[in-house]
Amino acid sequence: MQPLFYGAAAIAILSTIMMLSRLNAVHALLYLIVSLLAVAVVFYTLGAPFIAALEVIIYAGAIMVLFIFVVMLLNLGERATELERTWVKAKMYIGPMILAAILIAEFVVMLSQTRVTAHSAGVVGPKEVGAALYGPYLIGVELASFLLLGALVGAYHLGVRKREGVSKGNHVDTYERRTAARGDLVRAGTDRTAGAA
C-alpha cells in the first residue's frame, strides 16, 4: 500500500501544480479533476473506501460539472467557436490522460491486492461512518441540510435576477448568429427536411 499511496499523492500534487499554472480554464479543470481522482485513490489506500467513492461522485462529478457549466456559460461570445477549435487539440489532453492512466493502473493493482489484505489493513467502512453520522453527529447533519437549503435558495436568487436582465438579448444574439452563419449542420438539416417533404 505504501508505494501506491506515495504515487497517488505525487500525482495529486503534480496535477495541482499543473492546474495552477494553466492559462486556460478548461485545461485547469481537467487537471483539477485528475487531482481529485488522485486524492480519491489516496483515500482508498488510507482505508476509507466510502470517502473515496464520495470524492469521485460529488467532487469529481457534481462540483466539476458546475464549474464546467459556468465556464461554458461565460464563453458565449463571438469567439466561442474559434476557442472551441483551439481547445480540442489533442496535445492538451495528453497530460491529464497520462496521469489518469497511472491512477487507473494503481487502482487495478489495489483491486488485485484487496482480496488478500482486505481485513488486515485498517479499513473504516461505511457502516461505522453511517453509525457515527446519525448517532453523535445528528445535529451536524441537520445543520448541513440547513446550509445546503440556504445555498440552494441563494444560488437560485442570484441566478434568477441575472436571467431577467440579460438572457433575452443573449438569446437573440445567438439566434441571429445561427441564422446568419448558415453553418453546415443547419444546411444539412434543411436539406434533409426538404427531401423528406
Partner 1 sequence: MFALGLIGLLVRRNLIFILMSIEVMLNAAGLAFVVAGSRWMQPDGQVMFIFILAMAAAEVAVGLALVLQFYHLHKSLDADAASEMRG
111 binds partner 1 (CB under 8 A): no
* Binding residue for partner 1, selected from 83, 162, 168, 177, defined by CB under 8 A: 162
Q: What's the CA gap between 119 and 23, in Å, rounded?
A: 45
166 binds partner 1 (CB under 8 A): yes
73 binds partner 1 (CB under 8 A): yes
Which amino acid is it at 10? A
Q: Which is nearer to partner 1, 25 or 94 (CB)?
A: 25
Which amino acid is it at 148? L
114 binds partner 1 (CB under 8 A): no
Cα dihedral sign for 77, 78, 82, 85?
positive
Collect all residues with Cβ–Cβ distance below 8 Å to 90 and sequence separation of at least 6.
Answer: none
With contact defined as beta carbons under 8 Å apart, do 28 and 22 qualify? yes
**HSE of 169, CA atoms in CB hemisphere, 13 A:** 5
Q: Which is nearer to partner 1, 135 or 195 (CB)?
A: 135
140 binds partner 1 (CB under 8 A): yes
Count the site residues for partner 1 by CB under 8 A: 55
Footprint (CB under 8 A) of partner 1, residues 42-71? 42-43, 46-48, 50-51, 54-55, 58-59, 62-63, 66-67, 70-71
Which ranges of the chain would DSSP assign to H, the alpha helix?
Answer: 2-21, 25-45, 49-54, 64-74, 80-87, 91-113, 126-133, 138-181, 184-196
92 binds partner 1 (CB under 8 A): no
33: number of Cβ within 10 Å: 22
With contact defined as beta carbons under 8 Å apart, do 42 and 61 qualify? no
* Binding residue for partner 1, selected from 6, 101, 104, 161, defined by CB under 8 A: 161
- Write out the residues near partner 1 by the rule CB under 8 A: 12-13, 16-17, 19-20, 25, 28-29, 32, 35-36, 39, 42-43, 46-48, 50-51, 54-55, 58-59, 62-63, 66-67, 70-71, 73-74, 122, 124, 128-129, 131-133, 137, 140, 144, 147-148, 150-152, 154-155, 158-159, 161-162, 165-166
